[in-house]
Structure 1
C-alpha cells in the first residue's frame, strides 16, 4: 500500500499539473430521514463529512529495499463468512468494542501543526519461479470463432452535461453507510456497480484499510485488496445505501480475491467491472505486479475473470480466462464487461491510465473460454491467432477507470472514464459498442475535485439522470455524484 502513495497520488494533480483551490461544499442526505431503515445515515450525531485538505496530516514514505525470494504461488482464499444483522437503528454502533478505540495522543509534529512523518520499510521482490506450481484442471475446449463484419455507425453528438452535484459520501467515517463502524472500512476507493439481481445492485471496492487509516491514499492497517457490498435502494437522491457487505467476522468486510501482497510479484488484485448472467456473478479484475514511480501508472501481471455461484460470498479466479500483459503493452488489463443480447462485450485498456479503449465480445455461455472471444479490428470481429489478439482502438487514450453500460431506456451505450489529458471524468455515447463514439463531455473536473478518479456509472441511472461514483486520492473514499445529461 505504501508504494501506491508515491505512484498513484494525483494521476490528475501531478499528471496534469493541477493544484487548485476548490469549492468544498457538498449535498448531504437529510439525517432525520428514514431513521428506522437499516443502513441509512448519517446520524444526527455524526459530523457533516468534509473533504480532506490537499495538505496531508500524515505523510507515509516507503523505504524500499531489494529482496531475492521465491514466488510462493497463488495465496489461499479465505473461506470464512459470517452473516451479520445490522441494528434497526442506523445510529447504533454494532461493534463498539472493535471500532471505538481511543485515538493515539498527538506527537510533537502534530502539536506543532506539521504533517506526521512515517517511514515504512518495504521489500521490493526479485522472485524465482515457484518450483512446485499447482496443477491446473483441464481447460475449456478450444473454439475458432468466424470473422464477421462489424461496421461502425455515425457518431452521436456529445452529451450535454449540466447540474453536476455531489449526492453523498458512501464510505468511511460520517458516510451515509457508516462503513467505519459497521464493517471496519475506514478508507477505500472505486465503487464499481452492476445489477446482481433484478432488485439489487452489487458494489465492488478496491484496496481498503481499517485501523489507523490516514489519507492521502489507502494508508493504514487491516489491508484488504477488494470488498463487496449490496444495495436495494432506488432512491439515489439519498445515496447508495448498503444493505450488507460480504463479511468474514463481526463488523469486518471480507477480502474477495486474495493477493500475494508482495511488491514486484503481485502487490494486489483490484476489481474493474462486474456483471451477472443467471445465478452466476462475474468479476473482471487486474493482478497488479507493482505500482510504478510515475504518477498514475502501474504494471499488471494479467487481467482476469473471477466468478461466484453463491451470490458473491465466495469467488473463484478462473485459471484460463486471463489476458497476460506481454511486455507491459497488452490491452484488456483493465476491463469493463457488459452483457447485452446474446453477447458479453469487453471494453479494455492497457495497464495504467494512458492507453486507448479496445473492444472484444464473447457468447454469454463462453465467458470463461478465452478462445471464444472476437476482437474488433477495423470493421470486423476477428478471433485470436495463437493466443495473440489485436484490437483497433474504438476510443483514443488516455483513458483510465473505464465504466460502460447499455441504457435500455434510450437504446444508447454510455462510457465514462478518467481522461488525464483533460484532468476530468468524462462521458461519451454511441449507438453501437464499436462506435463511432461521440466526443467526450466533462462530468467532473479536477478544478473542482483535485486528485479525482473513478467515474463508475450506476446501472439504475435513467433518462437524463446519470449517477456515478467518484473517488479522490486526498480523501480515499467513495462519493455518489449526479449529472444531468441533455
Structure 2
C-alpha cells in the first residue's frame, strides 16, 4: 500500500471518504461522523451518523447508524470495500427503529440514533450511541456489541441504557479507549449540545454493559461524582480519545468554543488538562475562505483520530473530518486529513 501524500505535501486533505463514486453504491451518498477503529481481522471499521441514499440531506433512504468496512490508516488511503449491518453490499441501519421527524410523531418515537464512538477490546467491538427526539435532544444513550468485526450488533441490555441527564448531561457524547496495561476502559464525555466541557470515567471491560460499575474522576480521585476536567469556557462536540502505540494518549475532536479541531497529548487520561496546550491543526472558516490543503474547512466537525497515527511526525496523525453545508444540504460528507501533532507531555509546567 502506497504512502499517501496530500496535494500540498504531507499535511492537509487527503481525499473524500464518502460521496459520489465512493460510497453511493452502499446507499451512503450523504453521511457524516466516521469514528474508526481497527477490528481483530485487520480491517478498518467506521461508524457513520445520519446517512441518506439521495444527493443531499433528507433525500432518499435515511439510516443511522451505519457501518462501512475497509482498509487504510493514518498515512495510507482509506477505501471502503463492504458494509456492516448484515448486508455487505448496502449499508443498512444497524438495528431497527423508525425515524420520526414531525413534532407530533416525536412524542411517540425517536428521530434518530447518533453514534458517539467505537471501542475495541480484544476481539470485541463496542458502540456507544445517542438516542434523540429532535436535533440535539438526547433521551438516553446505549451500548451495543459486535463479535464479528462489525457485521452484526446486539444490545447489552437494560443496564447499558444510560439516562440523558446523567452527570447533569455531561455523559451523552462519548469517546473511549482501552489501556491493556492497567485493564481499564477510559471514557471521556460531554453533552450533545456543544456547550459543555468534559468529564472522565473508567470501567472494566467485563462491566461495560453495567452503568453501576463506572467510576468517575473528581478532584484527583475515582468515585461516584464527576468533575469537569476542562478549563472554564472550553466547550466540545464530537470527541476522540486514543492511546497511541508510543503509550501517549491523545484527546480531542471538535472544539466548539474555538470553531476548530483541537487535541491534547496526555501521559494519562487523568492528566490535568489545564496544564496541557490544545493544538488546533484544522480550523473552521467561511465557505469563501476554504483551503483544504491548508487545513481550513467550512462547517467542519468530527475530527476522529485514525489507527496508525504517530506524534512528532510531519503528517503522522490521521483525522476523519465531517463537513455539512446546512444551507443547501450538500456537501454532507466525510474526508480524510493528515496533520502534525507534537507530543507536549514533557512541557507540563511545574
Q: Give the TM-score normalised by the residue count of structure 2.
A: 0.82
Q: Retained in 1: the 8 A contact 2:67–2:84?
A: yes
Q: State the match for 1:467 in structure 2.
A: 318
Does the alignment pair 1:168 with 2:28? Answer: no
Q: State the match for 1:381 in structure 2.
A: 222
Query: 2-side partners of 1:401 and 1:395: how far apart?
Result: 15
Q: Retained in 2: the 8 A contact 1:303–1:335?
A: no
* 2:23 corresponds to which of 176, 179, 183: 179
CA displacement, residues 149-183 of structure 1 (integer Å, 9 cap, x when unaligned): xxxxxxxxxxxxx9640001001114xxx2113x1
What are the residue-to-residue correspondences of 1:57-456 with 2, within 5 Å? 164-174=11-21, 178-181=22-25, 183-197=26-40, 199-211=42-54, 213-214=55-56, 218-234=57-73, 236-246=74-84, 251-263=89-101, 264=106, 265-291=109-135, 298-318=136-156, 319-326=158-165, 329-341=168-180, 342-383=183-224, 390-396=225-231, 397-409=234-246, 411-437=247-273, 438-447=276-285, 448-456=296-304
Q: State the match for 1:482 in structure 2.
A: 338
Query: 2-side partners of 1:250 and 1:322: how far apart?
Result: 28
Query: 2-side partners of 1:283 and 1:369: how far apart?
Result: 14
Residues 1:345 and 1:232: Cα distance change in structure 2 (over 3 Å):
same
In structure 1, the gaps of 5 or more residues are 1-25, 30-161, 292-297, 384-389
Q: Which has the higher contact order (CA 8 A, sep 6+)?
A: 1
Residues 1:222 and 1:362: Cα distance change in structure 2 (over 3 Å):
same
Query: 2-side partners of 1:249 and 1:382: how far apart?
Result: 43
Q: State the match for 2:289 in structure 1.
A: none
Deviation, structure 1 residue 416:
1.8
Query: 2-side partners of 1:328 and 1:365: how far apart?
Result: 23
Deviation, structure 1 residue 356:
0.9
Deviation, structure 1 residue 371:
1.1
Q: Retained in 1: the 8 A contact 2:141–2:162?
A: yes
Deviation, structure 1 residue 365:
1.3
Residues 1:164 and 1:421: Cα distance change in structure 2 (over 3 Å):
farther
Deviation, structure 1 residue 462:
2.2
Q: Retained in 2: the 8 A contact 1:168–1:238?
A: no
Query: 1-side partners of 2:282 and 2:188: how far apart?
Result: 22
Residues 1:186 and 1:373: Cα distance change in structure 2 (over 3 Å):
same
Query: 1-side partners of 2:142 and 2:170: how far apart?
Result: 12
CA displacement, residues 394-431 of structure 1 (integer Å, 9 cap, x when unaligned): 2243101011101122x211012212221111111111
RMSD over aligned Cα atoms: 2.3
Query: 2-side partners of 1:311 and 1:425: how far apart?
Result: 29
Query: Rg: which structure is higher?
Result: 1
Residues 1:439 and 1:458: Cα distance change in structure 2 (over 3 Å):
same
Count of paired positions = 307
SS, match of residue 371 in structure 1: helix
CA displacement, residues 261-304 of structure 1 (integer Å, 9 cap, x when unaligned): 1243411111111112233211011111211xxxxxx1101121
Query: 2-side partners of 1:209 and 1:427: how far apart?
Result: 30
Query: 1-side partners of 2:77 and 2:34: how far apart?
Result: 12
Q: Give the TM-score normalised by the residue count of structure 1.
A: 0.60
Q: Retained in 2: the 8 A contact 1:184–1:210?
A: yes
